[in-house]
Amino acid sequence: MARSTLDAIYYGAIEAFSEKGYNDTSMDYVAEKAGVAKGTLYYNFKGKDELFLYVMKRGAHSLTDVITNVFDQPADPVTKWRNYISTQLAFFEQNRSFFRLIMQNMWGPNLLESVTLHELFHDYFVRMDQELQKAQELGLLSESMDISTLSASIFGMLTIPAIRSIVHDLPIDEEKRVNSITHTVLQSFKGGETI
Amino acid sequence: MARSTLDAIYYGAIEAFSEKGYNDTSMDYVAEKAGVAKGTLYYNFKGKDELFLYVMKRGAHSLTDVITNVFDQPADPVTKWRNYISTQLAFFEQNRSFFRLIMQNMWGPNLLESVTLHELFHDYFVRMDQELQKAQELGLLSESMDISTLSASIFGMLTIPAIRSIVHDLPIDEEKRVNSITHTVLQSFKGGETI
Amino acid sequence: MARSTLDAIYYGAIEAFSEKGYNDTSMDYVAEKAGVAKGTLYYNFKGKDELFLYVMKRGAHSLTDVITNVFDQPADPVTKWRNYISTQLAFFEQNRSFFRLIMQNMWGPNLLESVTLHELFHDYFVRMDQELQKAQELGLLSESMDISTLSASIFGMLTIPAIRSIVHDLPIDEEKRVNSITHTVLQSFKGGETI
Amino acid sequence: MARSTLDAIYYGAIEAFSEKGYNDTSMDYVAEKAGVAKGTLYYNFKGKDELFLYVMKRGAHSLTDVITNVFDQPADPVTKWRNYISTQLAFFEQNRSFFRLIMQNMWGPNLLESVTLHELFHDYFVRMDQELQKAQELGLLSESMDISTLSASIFGMLTIPAIRSIVHDLPIDEEKRVNSITHTVLQSFKGGETI
DNA sequence: TATGAATGAGCTTTCATTCAT
DNA sequence: CATGAATGAAAGCTCATTCAT
């Protein structure tokens, strides 16, 4: 069945790429992890690039779903942001391989000429910008803040501690870490005056 | 002269690696960028790994110098942190290639079995942890904050906007961006109460 | 219908093979040109070799028909040879793809162990040898001429200018070219005395 | 030494390509025949195409030398043409592998976009055209003959019997064959009147 | 009869590394 | 100290062939 072959490749590829990184993952290894023949990879994808891009796109979509689902809920802003943080961190914990994969490749050189990897996360940042815009309109955020810079900063507040946890082989969602991250992110909204 | 050959290799290697990434940079290309013969690279280094490690170590040292110099100055905490942010961002701006190189490789799989790349930045985080410790002792920071998590978050607040600027080919130190980052980092110190 | 599938394969294969050569023509490409699925090729033929051989045999037969039809007509020798030349050249012009295919593969290494490609044209040369034999008996041709060498030479006089025309994308049957070839071939019969 | 490595590759490649044809000759096989490592082929040539082109160019040059040397000698036209035929046939006999290689590839699809193989033999045909021009001016050749067609025909008179000899594993220069070819070629000059 | 997803052997090519100079 | 010609292991990719439908 077309779907199950593609699924096998998807999950095998995530495992393979996150373990060894893009370059050190051979197509043979992906095929082995996916339980298909190497030729099957090339029957379904033009090449290694396209396979990797497929994995990243499918993953980026699921990541964007997280933020969309949270912010689409009716709730007061602070609750929304709390939910965002905990949901996002839980997603990272539950998809450690894929999250590591993203962090390894997000800022690298373009894989394909036409598609820079971080463009895949464009929607993610757009959604966050929308929420920050609202917060600014509600007076929760100083007018002087540059929103696209802030969304990047918030992304950093979450992801850098998370990736460090993974590198040190610790759970992301230890209580003290989640609390600290939550506190840090929410602080960035308090008041507008620079100290 | 030994030194100038090594320097030529150092700067050529940074340029080469940051442009193409570790794996897609051939020793031929490093040699070309450095203006030396390929054999010279192997005369000075055991192999590609060791060359790369040299570049990262030398760079990590200069990065750690930034934080050390700032925090060793006698000044009040807030001023120190302000200085840290602006100095660090200026360093990223002045060493865009090297900074990109770090961000691309910091969280990847180990290059050498014995040396994880992020270990190179161990001293950097130790120094930041020391300063956060002090801040906590001075009551600038809630007792409940997990310091190693916070130092990672602060690093994220700075670096993610910075790397996004580079990816989008914008200057890191546009006023609005630097102001926003400064504001965001300093906010994480204000008060201890979670919203 | 069996016949139309086979015909579709035949004409698609000629087009494909003459365009790209035997090796660079994939079964996928033949299938595409023929408008059938790849599996259909394997349903009708054992493999690529057998398919190619079928094309060449069917083509060789049609080529041999040309020479047979001409020389079976009752006419004086000179008229026969005139007819042969013009008919043969016209056939090449009307079957440019197939003719190119022959010229590309006639002298190559064996495709199958048991069948050398030029053996397919055995009958063609046999028929020409018969006519040269007759010419020799009629005194039109010196006794000292080696007939199998001459038949090859005559084939060369026709085909090399023809294939050059195709390579240069010119019509084979431009008047001056056909006249020159006709003249050259007929000259080889004139007199027996070596200059 | 650069020269001897290149020579080893040249002769190994001719042997390999003429035995198996371009496509069925692997770079491994060329390396084996040449007595060098496969990497050495790629150190000296960009790829298989370029290596093949080098072989053909070097060979085409030596072939053109044959015709040039003969026609540059001071002699009467008939002697020149006699010499051309015997010298050319002797060259084919002494370079059977290379000659077969030419005949297999001369009329095929382009190897490289920019260079059609038969263009390599441009000079060869130019030189022959010059001599035919002279013959025409001397009245040895009818004014109505198309020279570029005739040169192709003459090339065919020589090469088709020669390649057939090779395919049938016979010597090219058996007396009866050489005599027949000589006779046939010289006939094409006699008189101008079409029979 | 006809199909096309799946296969894997075998190819071209890259490139870190060595070593004679 | 420095060089660059030579190497060969390992990678990405192609495509003739098979077979369940």
3-state secondary structure labels for all residues of C104-148: HHCCCCCCCCCCCHHHHHHHHHHHHHHHHHHHHHCCCCCCCCCHH
Interface-testing mutation among B149, B175, B188, with chain A (most A C-beta atoms within 10 A): B149
By the 8 A CB rule, do B30 and B41 touch? yes
Q: How far is CA C30 from the centre of its chain?
A: 22
Q: Which one, of A80, A55, A182, A77, lies nearest residue A137 by Cα?
A: A77
Mean pLDDT of C156-165: 95
Q: Judge whether B186 is closer than 8 Å to chain A, CB to CB.
A: yes
Q: C1-45 — its CATH code?
A: 1.10.10.60
- Half-sphere exposure for B171 (CA within 13 Å, toward CB): 7
Is A1's pLDDT higher than 70? no
pLDDT tens per residue, range A2-21: 469 999 999 999 999 988 88
CB contact under 8 A, D161 and C163: no
Question: Spelled out in words, what is the top-level CATH class assigned to the domain D52-186?
Answer: mainly alpha
- Those residues whose beta carbons lie under 7 A from strand E are A 1-2, 5, 36-40, 42-44; B 24-28, 38-39, 42, 47-49; C 1-2, 5, 36-40, 42-44; D 25-28, 38-39, 42-43, 46-49
Number of C-beta neighbours around residue B84 at 10 A? 22
pLDDT at D194: 41
Residue with tokens 């033929």: C45
Alpha-carbon dihedral of residues B90, B95, B100, B105, nearest 10 degrees?
-110
Segment-wise mean pLDDT, segments of 10 residues, chain D, 195 residues: 81 93 94 96 96 93 93 93 96 93 82 70 93 92 93 97 92 94 90 44
Chain A: closest CA distance from residue B117 (Å)? 10
Alpha carbon of D48 to those of A69, A171, D3: distances in Å? 55, 52, 19
What does the block give as tokens for B104?
Answer: 């691309």
Is the predicted pLDDT of residue C195 greater than 80, yes or no? Answer: no
Cβ-Cβ contacts under 8 Å for B42 (sequence gap 6 or more): B27
Mean pLDDT of A100-124: 77
Angle D115-D166-D95 (CA atoms, 0-180°, nearest 5)? 60
B76-93 per-position pLDDT tens digit = 888 999 999 999 999 999
Half-sphere exposure of C63 (CA within 13 A, CB side): 27
| CA B120/CA A51 separation, integer angstroms | 33
The model's pTM is: 0.87
Domain ranges of chain D: 1-45, 52-186
Is 90 exceeded by the pLDDT of residue C3? no
pLDDT mean for each 10 residues of chain B (195 residues): 80 92 93 95 95 92 92 92 95 92 80 68 93 92 93 96 92 94 90 44
Contacts 24+ apart (CB under 8 A), B15-19: B15/B97, B17/B52, B17/B55, B17/B101, B18/B97, B18/B98, B18/B100, B18/B101, B18/B104, B19/A109, B19/B97
Of A107, A177, A184, nearest to B163 by CB-CB distance is: A107
User: Could you tell me the two tokens for B3?
Assistant: 């030194």
**CA–CA separation, A37 and A48 (whole Å):** 14
The whole-number Å distance from A39's CA to E7's C1' is 6
What pLDDT is stored for residue B191 in this prediction?
Answer: 56
| C-alpha span between B30 and C180 (Å, rounded) | 62
Of the candidates A122, A60, A102, the one whose C-alpha atom is nearest the C-alpha of residue B107 is A102
What percentage of chain A's residues is helix, strand, coil (to nearest 5)? 75, 0, 25
Q: What is the mean pLDDT of chain A?
A: 89
> C192 pLDDT exceeds 60?
no
Q: What is the DSSP letter of C168?
A: T
In the complex, which subunits touch C with 3 or more CB pairs below 8 angstroms? D
E strand segments, A30-188: none
Phi, psi of B46 (to 5 degrees): -65, -35
| 3-state DSSP assignment of residue D37 | coil
pLDDT digits (tens, 9 = 90+) for A62-88: 899 999 999 999 999 889 999 999 999
DSSP assignment letter at D118: G
- pLDDT above 80 (res C45): yes
Torsion sign (Cα): A71, A77, A81, A82 = negative
The SS3 assignment for D113 reads coil
> CA–CA distance from B166 to each of B60, B94, B100, C114 (Å)?
19, 12, 8, 66
In this predicted structure, the answer to whether residue A97 has a pLDDT above a threshold of 90 is no
Hey, is the C-beta of B21 within 8 angstroms of any chain A C-beta? yes
Task: Check residue A193 and give its pLDDT.
Answer: 45
Q: Which of C20, C78, C180 sits opposite D149 (nearest CB)?
A: C180
Cα gap A89→A96, rounded to integer Å: 10
- State which residue of chain D sits closest to C82, comparing Cα positions: D195
CA of C40 to C1' of F17 (A): 12
